[in-house]
Amino acid sequence: MDRDELGQGLVKAAYLEGDFLLASGRRSRYYFDKYLFETRPELLGAVAQHLASRVPPEVRRLAGPELGAVALAAATSLATGLPSLFVRGAAKAYGTAKRIEGPFEPGDAVLVLEDVVTSGASAIEAADLLKESGCRVVRILAVIDREEGGRESAKAAGYELDALFTKSELERWL
């Protein structure tokens, strides 16, 4: 699936209009429902291929913040052959009580994958945790950047944020 077909597919499957409360706490008249594209194999597979093509050569691990980006990290791991990490928002109270699931070594170069970025807070939190745990976060790579300050917040936190699509780019298919 080429980039234009993927953009059209994302909009057709996941763009919703209405009154939505976002994870950032903001309200919006539109919403990109990540689960409507991440649960469709043809779209998830195409997203993973496009993400895989943008993985910097020095990256040794892919990381996905729970819950939405776990599917992205797993699918992109399959597309690249790179191992993945899953970053929890909070440690579970049972088992190993880890916030980062999956093996890694101090100094590993990690690419943080994210689904839809508004403020960038969850991706930045995951990147910070990985960094505190000894990883070197190379970049944050999202599927969709809503262009509402996430890129700037990531930069202020010391991370580069890139996306397959911006909201402005997707508007041509609305």
Annotated domain spans of the chain: 3-173
Helix (H) or strand (E) holding 156: helix 150-156
CATH number 3.40.50.300 is the correct assignment for the domain at 3-173: no
pLDDT tens-digit series, residues 123-147? 999 999 999 999 999 999 999 999 9
Write down the pLDDT at residue 59. 98
Residue 95: is its pLDDT beyond 80?
Answer: no
Confidence of residue 23 (pLDDT cuts 50, 70, 90): confident
What is the maximum span of the chain, computed from C-alpha positions, in angstroms? 47
Q: Which residues pair with 20 in a beta bridge?
A: 28
pLDDT the model gives residue 73 = 98
Q: Give 46-86 pLDDT, tens digit per residue.
A: 999 999 999 999 999 999 999 889 999 999 999 999 999 99
Cα angle for residues 132, 136, 139 (degrees, 5° grid): 110
- Name the more confident of 101 and 95: 101
Q: Six-digit token pair at 127?
A: 């990147």
- Compute the CA torsion angle 32, 36, 37, 39 (nearest 10 deg): 150
- The single-letter code of the amino acid at 154 is A
Q: Which of 17, 15, 22, 28 is nearest to 121 (CA)?
A: 22
Residue 17's DSSP bridge partners are 30
Q: How far apart are CA 113 and CA 66, in angstroms?
A: 10
- The predicted pLDDT at position 86 comes to 97
* CA gap 41, 105 in Å, rounded: 31
